[in-house]
Every structure is written in structure tokens, then in C-alpha cells.
């Protein structure tokens, strides 16, 4: 009889603990709903932040062989896994009469099959020489920049990896309250 009471008490306490753990999660989800996803098509100018606009111009994917041919001297990532990289050419424009700052590492690559990956600083350095992570734009200045992102086969099924470039990828900076996505 005592054993049944103990089991019953343990079950009741377990239910109470689970309910107490779930209630705060529900409250947070109600207070902060899922962000609105805003998609900006390739070639269309979109507001990056107040006073800055971003337009994706061109996208080029390189496989491991092409990366080795072009960047073997500077890349350490090629040692272990299969990699692909996407190079995104984008126009960044200061729309204001004041200087504006843009941090290149704030834009990251995302897709529906791949959560996200930040700027590949090794490739960025190889492309730009001695790049600045912070770009300062003069009033009304417009620059063309190339942003490289690398992706490893580690995160994909074999069939996904082989058709990776066919999926929709986009660049994202902020995720909340609006998730603004520039299609690449």
C-alpha cells in the first residue's frame, strides 16, 4: 500500500513540475510572437537599417575544387570536409546626408534547409586583402561589396548537398520583430 502511495505522489509531483516548466514557455511565446518574414527579391533594393539600403546583385557558388584552385593558400577549412562557398555581390548605399556604419559580419546566410552561417572571414580577407569589418559610408555613397559564406557538407544529407545551390538562400541581419531576408 505504501508503495502505491509513493508512486502516486511521484506522479503528481512530476505533473506539477512539468506544468510549472511549460507555463513560462507559453507566456514567452504569447508575449513575443513569431516574427513577420519579409522577403526582398534579388535585384530589388531593401532597407537594411535606417538610412542604409542593400541590393543583392549577383550570386556565385564555388565547389571544393574551385575553392582549392582559387584560394588554397589562404583557406584552412579545406583540410577536413567537403565545402562549398557562395559569393554574394551586393550594393550598399547610404541614403542619408550623414556618415553611416555597416558591420559586414552582421549579415548571415540562411535557408529553409540550413539554419545559418556567418560571413567567412578567411574568404573575405582573401578577396578584400585587409578588409574592414566595419564599413563607413559617406553621405549618399554607394559601394559594391562581395560577401563570402562557406557551407560544410556536415549539416546535410547527401542528396541535399548535391543540389544545395538549387535551394533558396537569403541573407538576414535581424530576426525580430521583422525578419528581413534578401534572396540571393
pLDDT at 146: 93
In sequence order, what DSSP letters do the residues of 102-150 get, joined into one string? EEGGG-EEEESSS--B---HHHHHHHHSS--SEEEE-TT-EEEEEEEEE
Question: Along the chain (184 residues), what's the average pLDDT of each consecutive run of 10 residues?
Answer: 80 89 81 84 88 95 90 72 92 95 90 83 84 88 94 88 91 84 92
Q: Is the separation of the CB atoms in 90 and 119 below 8 Å?
A: no
pTM of the model: 0.79
Strands 36-40 and 178-183: what pairing? parallel
Between CA 139 and CA 99 the distance in angstroms is 5
Q: Residue 79: what pLDDT?
A: 67
Contacts of 121 by beta carbon, 8 Å cutoff, 6+ apart? 105
Q: What is the pLDDT of residue 59?
A: 96
Query: Looking at residue 133, what is its pLDDT?
Result: 82
pLDDT of residue 9: 85
* Listed residue (112, 104, 110) closest to 86, CA to CA: 110
**pLDDT at 81 (0 to 100):** 81
Cβ atoms within 10 Å of 43's Cβ, excluding its own: 11
pLDDT at residue 149 in the model = 95
pLDDT of residue 170: 94
Amino acid at each position: 500500500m505504501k508503495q502505491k502511495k509513493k508512486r502516486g505522489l511521484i506522479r503528481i509531483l512530476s505533473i506539477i513540475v512539468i506544468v510549472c516548466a511549460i507555463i513560462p514557455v507559453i507566456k514567452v511565446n504569447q508575449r513575443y510572437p513569431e516574427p513577420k518574414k519579409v522577403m526582398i527579391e534579388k535585384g530589388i533594393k531593401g532597407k537594411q537599417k535606417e538610412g542604409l539600403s542593400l541590393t543583392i546583385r549577383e550570386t556565385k557558388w564555388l565547389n571544393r575544387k574551385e575553392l582549392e584552385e582559387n584560394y588554397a593558400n589562404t583557406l584552412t577549412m579545406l583540410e577536413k570536409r567537403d565545402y562549398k562557398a557562395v559569393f554574394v555581390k551586393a550594393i550598399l548605399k547610404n541614403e542619408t546626408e550623414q556618415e553611416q556604419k555597416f558591420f559586414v559580419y552582421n549579415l548571415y546566410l540562411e535557408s529553409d534547409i540550413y539554419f545559418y552561417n556567418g560571413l567567412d572571414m578567411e574568404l573575405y580577407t582573401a578577396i578584400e586583402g585587409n578588409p574592414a569589418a566595419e564599413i563607413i559610408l559617406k553621405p549618399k555613397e554607394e559601394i559594391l561589396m562581395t560577401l563570402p559564406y562557406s557551407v560544410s557538407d556536415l549539416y546535410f544529407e547527401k542528396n541535399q548537398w548535391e543540389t544545395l545551390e538549387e535551394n533558396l538562400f537569403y541573407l538576414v541581419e535581424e530576426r525580430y520583430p521583422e525578419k528581413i531576408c534578401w534572396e540571393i
